[in-house]
Each structure stands twice: as C-alpha cells, then as structure tokens.
Amino acid sequence: FTIRLPLTLAIIQALLIALGEEKYAIPLSAIDSTIKVNMNDIKTIQNREVILLRGSVIPVVRLEHELQVPEKTRQENEELYIVIVQIGERRAGFLVDELIGQQEIVIKSMGTLLGGIRCIAGATILGDGQVALILDVAALM
C-alpha cells in the first residue's frame, strides 16, 4: 500500500471555540488573552462596540455577524467569553459562545472553490471527525 503526504503540511496550535452549533479554530499565535466579561461591560462608542481592558479600548467583533451564524439570544447581565487577538499593533476582542480548548491542528486548504471566503484561512478535521473552520484573524479585524 502507498501513503501520499502533501509536500507542505502546516501544523499549528489553535484555540477551539464554539459559535452556536459550529466549531472554529483561532491560531494561538494571534491570541493575546481570553477574558470573561459581563454583557454590561460592552459599551458603544461612535457606533462601535468596545470593551475597556487594562486601560485600553478594544473593539469587539461579534463573530456570529461576520460569519453569518444565527445569533444567540443573550441576557443583559449574562457573562460572555471574549478572545483578545493581536496582529502587530492592532487588537480586537472576538465575542464567542464557548471556549473549548487548545489543540494542535493540521491546516487543510479550502481549495479553489472555497478559497476566496474572506474570514476563513482553512479547515481542520478534529479527532471526533468534525470539521472546524480556521479563522483568518487579520481579515476579521
């Protein structure tokens, strides 16, 4: 029998998150920290949602809007998870439903048909057989 391996195989550390029923992966290299905040901690300044973190104003990105996932109904005092990401000097907070955990993943190309999707860098197959899309952090900021 023959085993064929791709010439370039990218393995990265990623944080698995959940948005509704879907799982996504955020490359660990782009993550600054994860925090739990109250819904009331998210403020609106100049029509943008932000949080105040250690004296810095950080824009909040609702991933469900960007990825067109059905939005979860949230209570006013509900606690939320925010993944603080950083690319260069730019920082943002990704609002997620659940933090699943850190995992080493193999990046699979989306091919030519799905390669042009703005927010997605690739996909991976998890140990349980589920597919998780890998987020393109820079495109979401």
> What's the pLDDT tens digit per position in 47-102?
999 999 888 999 999 988 888 887 777 777 778 899 999 999 999 999 999 999 99
Query: How many distinct structural domains can be found in the chain?
Result: 1
> What's the pLDDT tens digit per position in 90-136?
999 999 999 999 999 988 877 666 656 788 888 898 988 899 999 99
Residue 19, strand partner residues? 22
Question: pTM here?
Answer: 0.84
Two tokens, residue 57: 């104003």
| 5 in any annotated domain | no
**CATH number of 35's domain:** 2.40.50.180
| 2 in any annotated domain | no
Could you tell me the residue range of the domain that residue 59 belongs to? 11-140
Angle at 84 between CA 28 and CA 22, to 5 degrees: 70
| 4 in any annotated domain | no
